[in-house]
Structure 1
Amino acid sequence: MSSLNRLLYFNCVVETGSISEASRIFDVQPSSISRQLAVLEQELGVRLLNKTTRNTGLTEAGQKYYEYSQRIVSEFDEAKKAVNDLHEKPKGKLKISMTVGFGESIVLPLMPKFMLLYPDIDIKLELTERVVDLVEENIDVAIRSGRLVDSTMIAKHLSLNNFFLCASPQYLANKGTPQSPEELIDHQCIRYSYSRWQDWYLMAKQRTKLAIKNTISVNSVNGQKQLVLNGGGLTLMPLWAVRKELKDGSLVHVMPKYTFSPYEELSSTYAIYLKREMVSVKTRVFLDFLLENIVETELKQS
């Protein structure tokens, strides 16, 4: 008789309060369960159960052992399910919420490839800057920037939000190229109007909020990109949004020796999902796909 079966018997007796009920559930003789419980107590050198003619209760040692025994059996069940899931075809509805900029720039171009790999997953995408409630709105994965605050969530790092100050060659030819952060006050600056991205900071030993006077404000990352590409001014954009344009020369990295950010701290983008005993197969394959392909895309473009 395996040690795991003894734990299963022990847990069942604790939960039903009866050896006879446990014997009915496992379809074995009560004497067999009693024998295995006695072996378990002998192995541990302590009494786990107080048995009377009417019921069975836990000793103090039994209570402590039961807490661990529950976890061991749960981990075993989880391991079995994880192995079985390898042979299970991912399917069902997968609801994903993501920020507009990262979604349009990074995630949406990858989705046709994901759909070819997993045709039985029914995908629903929501692009929004709104902070969604994963439980209330039945979201499987949310893609967001910033820190993970809620301890009931798990976050997988997708990409650094390395913000670059950039402008078009046309704008710089007309207005000149600023050489220091203080000169930005004399330039047209394009801000992203999301509340956390409105201010610009110089990220040095002491973070400095920059004075910016002449501004245009727009509520989408792609709107920012169109404005800056067409000579609308200087803007702060994450590298993942402008990597191609910087590489082909349609945008110029301005003051590359300085580090800028629209936050008071450097940030990243994460895939967030609920902390559960078992993550569904459809969610797991999407997360794995996202991590693999975002890294691959960044390596190709670097």
Structure 2
Amino acid sequence: MTQWQGVAEFVAVAETGSFTAAAARLAVSVAQVSRQISALENRLGAKLFFRSTRKVVMTENGGVYYQHCRSLMDGLDEAERAILDLQTTPRGKIKMTAPTTFGEESVMPLVNDFLLLYPELELHCDLSNQLDDLVTQGYDVAIRIGNLSDSAMMARKLAARTRFVCAAPEYLDRYGIPHSLAELEQHNCLVGASDFWRFEEGGKSRNVRVSGRIHCNSGYALVDAALKGLGVIQLPDYYVQAYLDEGRLISLLDHYREPEEGIWALFPHNRHLSPKIKLLVDFLARGFGASGAV
């Protein structure tokens, strides 16, 4: 007798609540299911179900055993899917999420290029700044920016971003250039989702409260306002780098700039990284100019 004997029957009964339904699921006889469960209970020396003529209920021991057996069955299913994936063209659904603006500007154009290469793939993508529970929401991969704190996830760094404080030359000619964090109080700061801007001073992170005439949760709207000389902004490089290169915006307070933030691909620890997900992440990494293996 092996340790696997009776496990499939036990899980089927636990999930269906019936020996008859479990037998139908497994395409075996009810007597076969009953024999396997009895043999399993004898081997474990513990009762796994309370049985009556009307229903079957797991014991406390059965509940504990089920949690472990379900994980084993899931792992076996994942292993079989992994082998099948290796032998076939990438197909099926990919469920992913990414921050709204960065997703629109940088992630989705690359993902769309990826889908052109693999026409049998189907994408479900949520662009959102909400930090959903990636495991319970069933995401295969999530793109996140900044410091990571979720120990339930594996991560691969794809690239990095830098936040710039900047303003148009016309604004600076009129109101002057701030040289210290305290001088930001004298300027019209164009505020996004948060009225705190992040800096590094003396090797330590520092948040500075700012205020101004415009509050808007759109980075593009704030860039437009800054380009028109309405104030000072703090935004990631993918909003402003082109305008900095052209001289239409001037970078400010560079010696207080925080170190660059990581751009990450996250995966649940308990979910098999299938070849199609690895292909996608590798493609994104190349697109962002990163390197390394999952």
TM-score, structure 2 normalization? 0.65
Q: Report the secondary structure of 1:284's partner residue.
A: helix
**Counterpart of 1:268?**
262
SS of the aligned residue for 1:131 comes to coil
Alignment match, 2:56: none
Aligned CA RMSD, in angstroms, stands at 3.6
The count of corresponding residues between Structure 1 and Structure 2 is 235
Higher Cα radius of gyration: 1
- Quote the offset at 1:140 in angstroms: 1.9
Aligned-pair CA distance for 1:254: 1.5
Q: Report matched runs for 1:77-156 at 5 Å.
A: 85-156=85-156
Indicate if the aligned counterparts of 1:101 and 1:241 stay in contact, CA closer than 8 A: no
| Corresponding residue SS for 1:217 | coil
| Pair 1:224–1:154, CA change in 2 (3 A) | farther
Q: How far did residue 10 of structure 1 move?
A: 6.5
Secondary structure of 1:203's match? strand
Give the whole-Å Cα distance in 1 for the aligned partners of 2:206 and 2:4.
Answer: 62
Distance apart, 1:156 and its partner CA: 1.8
Aligned-pair identity (%): 31
The offset of 1:56, in angstroms, is 7.5
Q: 1:236 to 1:279 in 2, by over 3 A?
A: same
Judge conservation of contact 1:145–1:268 (CA < 8 Å) in 2.
yes
Find the aligned partners of 1:208 and 1:77 in 2 and give their Cα distance: 48
**Are the aligned partners of 1:96 and 1:124 in contact in 2 as well (CA < 8 Å)?**
yes
Q: Is the 8 A contact 1:100 1:220 kept in 2?
A: no
1:242 aligns with 2:236: no
Among candidates 257, 274, 290, match of residue 280 of structure 1: 274
Gaps of 5+ in 1: 1-8, 17-54, 58-73, 297-302
Are residues 275 and 260 of structure 1, via their aligned partners in 2, closer, same or farther at CA, if it must alter by over 3 Å? Answer: closer
SS of 1:242 mapped into structure 2: helix
In structure 2, how many angstroms separate the alpha carbons of the residues matched to 1:207 and 1:277?
35
Equivalent residues of 2:159, 2:285 under 8 A apart: no
Unmatched tracts of structure 2, length 5 or more:
9-41, 45-73
CA 106–77 in structure 1, closer or farther in 2 if over 3 Å, else same: same
- What is residue 61 of structure 2 aligned with on the other side? none
Q: 1:76 to 1:212 in 2, by over 3 A?
A: closer
1:199 to 196, 205, 228: 196
